[in-house]
Amino acid sequence: MTSPTTTLTPTLTPPVAFTEEYQDFAAWVREFAAGHADSYLEVARRTEFPWHLARALGAQGLLGLGTSEEYGGMGRLGGELTKVHLGIVHEELAYANFYLAQIAYTCNFTAPLLEKFLPAHLAAEWIPGIVAGEHIVAFGLTEPGSGSDASAMRMKAARVDGGWSLSGEKTSITFAPHSKGIIALAKADAYVDADGREHRGGITCFLVPFDSPGIEVQQFDDPGWKPLGRSAVFMDDVFVPDEYVLGDVGGAFRMVMAEFDYTRSVIGFMSTAVARRALDMTIEYSRIRTTFGKPIAAYQGVSFPIAEHATKLEAARWLTYRALSKADLGEHHTTEAAMVKWYALEVSLAAIHDCIIAHGHTGYSEELPLQSMFRDVSGLEIGEGTPQIQKLIIARALIGREYTQ
């Protein structure tokens, strides 16, 4: 009996291990990040934006991943530079210092987006500064009453001569207090252009400079993410020229949702990396802290949770690399990205929580970075879809949308 012909799926990169090239790349990022590891807690306590970290990342080339060399970047994605490379970057940065990763995460999302859609003269004005760590651009999707439900968006864009007038409120916008501008999504009105063609309008993406008249930024007082800043952004008849529209009018929802599969995966790397650092701190502590004449590592109440959390974090980590590997192959990976966004955050927070307990009263103090780690990873759980939204995405993919709504 002959075996049936089998069509082989291309090897995922990496399927279970890094190639030598990936290992060398990870070591390069790790060496840079290690120099900023000790400053994490100091930065976490302050409200000043860590521009020194942004500029260091820029000098290393880590804010130009996916951006053309023309604008100071390391090149567009595809070919030698892959999304797996981006995953490696954010994992290594977050292990050393969460804020390194968060700055890189935003800049490596906004700079390529602006390059793709801005006219050349505006791209030259905005992108090099992002890549160099000299300024940052926020991203504005969430509104009061509409987070993951973008269809409920209420910010309006009315057609005016030469552009658009934006009115409404965005909320929970990270980096807004320190940004040069915001990439804001708004519902554009239907209109008729100068040639008499009718346009349906719809959710549209706008680059809005923060020095535009009619903008007010109201910063929140948060327990975590203090140096990054999070704000409400109010717009009252803010004029945005046509050349600041990113992509097609009415085409932003599909454009942005396509990016969420990547960004949700990167969030998984940042959370598990922070948790692995907390676990490594706890492993070392369990060796040197003694009670009743022996290290606390000798007690299963300490050693078993370490083993359990290490296993779960490793599983979440490789699920994340699988999602990005599928992205590099051009395969659909929305389900895997949703699994990552839910599961990686859940196991990371559980691991950090138990690390705090293992350290006793010092774990609960500001003497160690564990409390800041827990707050910073908690902030990741809120962005780009809550755990409940991710589970809904997974359920619809497995069971069918018609059965789950």
Q: In terms of Cα–Cα distance, which of 264, 263, 394 is closest to 341?
A: 264
The domain defined by 253-403 folds into Butyryl-CoA Dehydrogenase, subunit A; domain 3 (1.20.140)
CB–CB of 189/158 below 8 Å?
yes
Looking at every residue in the chain, the average pLDDT score rounds to 91
Could you give the CA distance from residue 330 to residue 348 in angstroms, rounded to a whole number? 28
pLDDT tens digit string along 188-232? 999 888 788 888 889 999 999 999 999 999 999 989 999 999 999
Q: What is the pLDDT of residue 148?
A: 62
Percent of the chain with pLDDT over 90: 74
pLDDT band at 8 (very low <50, low <70, confident <90, very high): very low
Q: What is the pLDDT of residue 358?
A: 96
Percent of the chain with pLDDT over 70: 94
74-100 burial: b if 16+ Cβ within 10 Å, else e: bbebeeebbbbbbbbbbbbbbbbbbbb
Q: What is the pLDDT of residue 10?
A: 40
Q: What is the DSSP string of 331-384?
A: ---HHHHHHHHHHHHHHHHHHHHHHHHHTGGGTTSTTSSHHHHHHHHHHHHHTT
User: Residue 315 pLDDT > 50, yes or no?
Assistant: yes
Structure tokens at 328: 């590099």
Q: What is the pLDDT of residue 149?
A: 66
User: Residue 294 pLDDT > 60, yes or no?
Assistant: yes
Q: What is the pLDDT of residue 6?
A: 38
Angle CA(346)–CA(351)–CA(354) in degrees, nearest 5?
125
Q: What is the pLDDT of residue 193?
A: 80
For helices 252-288 and 83-96, angle between their N-to-C axes, nearest 10 degrees:
40
Q: In terms of Cα–Cα distance, which of 43, 79, 41, 73 is closest to 58?
A: 73
Could you give the CA distance from residue 287 to residue 296 in angstroms, rounded to a whole number? 7
Q: What is the pLDDT of residue 252?
A: 87
Average pLDDT over residues 283-300: 96
The domain defined by 20-135 folds into Butyryl-Coa Dehydrogenase, subunit A; domain 1 (1.10.540)
Could you give the CA distance from residue 304 to residue 268 in angstroms, rounded to a whole number? 24
Q: What is the pLDDT of residue 147?
A: 67
- Enumerate the domain spans of the chain: 20-135, 139-250, 253-403
Range in 78-82, 107-111, 247-251, 373-377 the model is least confident about: 78-82
User: Residue 79 pLDDT > 90, yes or no?
Assistant: no
**CATH value of 139-250 in 3.50.50.60, 1.10.3720.10, 2.40.110.10, 1.20.1250.20:** 2.40.110.10
C-alpha dihedral, 134 to 176 to 218 to 385, nearest 10°: -160
3-state SS class at 51? helix
3-state SS class at 19? coil
Average pLDDT over residues 266-270: 93
Average pLDDT over residues 165-172: 96
pLDDT tens digit string along 53-71? 999 999 999 999 999 999 9
Residue type, 272: T
Q: How far is CA 49 from the centre of its chain?
A: 18
Residues 6+ apart with CB under 8 A from 230: 172, 173, 174, 176, 177, 219, 220, 222
Residues 6+ apart with CB under 8 A from 216: 233, 234, 236
202-209 and 198-199 strand pairing: unpaired
